[in-house]
Amino acid sequence: MKHKIMIHYAVSFFVAALFLVIVNVMYMQNSVYQNEQLYHFDADPYLNQIIKGINLNASSELEMTLDLSEYLRNHGIGIQIIDEQFKEVFQANNHSRDIQRFYTPEELINLYESHSTTAFIRGQRIENKDYTILMFMDPSHVRRRLYTYDVALVGATYNPIWLIGMNGILLLLISYMYTNRISQPINRMNECIIRLSKGHYDVESPGKGIYKNVEVAINTLAKQLQISQQERALADVAREEWISNLSHDIKTPLTSMMGYGELLGDPEYPLSSEERNKYKEIILEKGAYIENLLEDLNMATRLKHQQLPLNMEPVELISEIKVILIDVLNTGFNEENVSFTHTEDHIKLSVDRRLFKRALVNLIHNAFVHNERPVSVKVHVEVEDTSWVAILIEDDGIGVKTEELPRIFTRYYRGTHTNTKKEGSGLGLAIAKDIIEAHKGNITVEKSSLGGLKIILKLKVS
């Protein structure tokens, strides 16, 4: 794969660059070097204009018209006229040029190679006398460069096959260097993605190129997938343990129910009215226990998939919590084990009363059920600001280990903070969390200053 990517980029770059080279060679051969007008400057119109403006005056001296003077000035042209002895007889507009007053034939020829001025020469007969007119132009506007060359050598140098071949070799080298640099991070990302697809989450140090952010993102994804895999493995173990415990929790009361049912239906085993009522109560109790387990499973599933509609209604929070706490105390807990305080007497918010009670009861029962010694539970309500109300539930039990805190609300998790086996679905705290979040609130847990757990519910105030 690494070589395929590199070859792909190299061939693509090479073909594109080679096409540009061919187009440029063809353009140079057919449009630049073959275009005679491109490097040809016609000085005749300027010289003709100069000749028309030169005259002899009454003293048989050369002079120029005002129109010619303005023409020379506008075009930045200087002129010099020499006689048959190559001696200057007239000059104009040459104040910025260093010109000679007398020339030899060789010096006139050398004017064509001057870099300071561009000279054009024409012979002209005026009043039966022969003169030579020198026209000087600024080389920044008109420049002459003479070439003397071997035709065969120049032809070979500009041979299209040689140019394309030479540039092709250079392009191969450049494309290799370029594609090697480009393909390296792509190869790393490609290999990393393949490893991720196979479940290998080891990461490599990202490079320093333009793909650095992408490589960092892939490494972050790999770490997240690794964490998710570990959490999934822990969840699988917890779920298997939960299924095993739940099966035992259901099988134990079910066995009792079957046993007592056989006794009640056995005509050979005489039972008194007290015994029949006792066995009936045991069967009903075990049946209610199994019913509660199944109800927890159903509710947890519906909450997880957001399929449980909320019947929202306005409530007076303080009064509602007092009613819930009274119901908790009526299930067998001592009044001195539960305390309730609040910073505001009247707090209104909208909740599903049935589900809200279920969440609060689950959280309070959790403190009593999962501690091996009698504990006290403190419920406190305070308004943090005009938008949120906080409900704090904390106990003075043995609490949980710090590393277990993030898993408190995980489904099927029962914790390891007690050696005593507790019956139940293991879904109580998870159900409470889902109910609070369904109310657009949030729930967190931390260690309590009392020694146990401190659970904090936050709900929006109406």
Q: Between 165 and 442, whose confidence is greater? A: 442
pLDDT computed for residue 420 by the predictor: 44
Q: Between 223 and 416, whose confidence is greater? A: 223
C-alpha to C-alpha distance for 16 and 244, rounded to whole angstroms = 66
Grade residue 416 by pLDDT with cuts at 50, 70 and 90. Answer: very low
- Average pLDDT of the chain, as a whole number: 80
Grade residue 421 by pLDDT with cuts at 50, 70 and 90. Answer: very low
pLDDT computed for residue 245 by the predictor: 66
Grade residue 132 by pLDDT with cuts at 50, 70 and 90. Answer: very high
C-alpha to C-alpha distance for 121 and 95, rounded to whole angstroms = 19
Count H helices, E strands: the chain? Answer: 11, 13
Contacts of 123 (CB under 8 A, 6+ apart): 130, 131, 132, 133
- Domain 310-460 architecture: 2-Layer Sandwich (3.30)
The answer to whether residue 357 scores a pLDDT higher than 70 is: yes
The answer to whether residue 360 scores a pLDDT higher than 60 is: yes
Q: Between 300 and 73, whose confidence is greater? A: 73
pLDDT computed for residue 135 by the predictor: 94
The answer to whether residue 131 scores a pLDDT higher than 80 is: yes
Mean pLDDT in residue range 136-155? 84
Q: Between 409 and 63, whose confidence is greater? A: 63
Residue 78 · residue 69 · CB < 8 Å = no
Give per-residue pLDDT as tens, 361-371: 888 888 777 77
With 0-12 / 13-18 / 19 or more C-beta atoms within 10 angstroms meaning exposed / middle / buried, residue 341 is exposed
Q: Between 30 and 430, whose confidence is greater? A: 430
Token digits of residue 435 = 């109910």
With 0-12 / 13-18 / 19 or more C-beta atoms within 10 angstroms meaning exposed / middle / buried, residue 120 is buried
Residue 127 · residue 61 · CB < 8 Å = no
Reported as type and span, the H/E element at residue 413 is none
Buried b vs exposed e over 227-237: b needs ≥16 C-beta within 10 Å?
eeeeeeeebee
Token digits of residue 5 = 């990517």
The answer to whether residue 423 scores a pLDDT higher than 60 is: no
- The three-state secondary structure class of 42 is coil
Residue 14 · residue 171 · CB < 8 Å = yes
CATH 3.30.450 fits 42-137, yes or no: yes
pLDDT computed for residue 1 by the predictor: 53
Which DSSP state fits 331? T
Mean pLDDT in residue range 115-142? 90
4-8, 78-82, 291-295, 308-312: which is most confident: 78-82
Give per-residue pLDDT as tens, 265-285: 777 777 788 888 888 888 888
pLDDT computed for residue 96 by the predictor: 79
Least confident of 241-245, 287-291, 335-339, 380-384: 241-245
Contacts of 88 (CB under 8 A, 6+ apart): 80, 81, 82, 100, 101, 102
Q: What does the domain layout of the chain look like in residue ranges?
A: 2-37+150-188, 42-137, 204-308, 310-460
Cα R_g (the chain), whole angstroms? 51
Angle at CA of residue 156, ends 152 and 161, nearest 5°: 150
The reply to whether 204-308 and 310-460 are identical in fold is: no
pLDDT computed for residue 56 by the predictor: 86
pLDDT computed for residue 73 by the predictor: 92
Buried b vs exposed e over 299-338: b needs ≥16 C-beta within 10 Å?
bbeebeeeebeeeeeebebeebbeebbeebeeeebeeebb
Least confident of 21-30, 107-116, 322-331: 21-30
Mean pLDDT in residue range 242-255? 73
204-308 folds as Helix Hairpins (1.10.287)
Mean pLDDT in residue range 141-159? 81
Q: What is the pTM of this model?
A: 0.47
The answer to whether residue 428 scores a pLDDT higher than 80 is: no
**What share of the chain in percent tops pLDDT 90?**
15
Residue 206 · residue 219 · CB < 8 Å = yes
The answer to whether residue 78 scores a pLDDT higher than 50 is: yes
pLDDT computed for residue 127 by the predictor: 82
Pairing type for strands 312-316 and 348-352 reads antiparallel
Q: Between 393 and 19, whose confidence is greater? A: 393
The answer to whether residue 422 scores a pLDDT higher than 70 is: no
Pairing type for strands 453-460 and 442-447 reads antiparallel
| DSSP letters for 239-297 | HHHHHHHHHHHHHHHHHHHHHHHHHHH-TTS---HHHHHHHHHHHHHHHHHHHHHHHHH
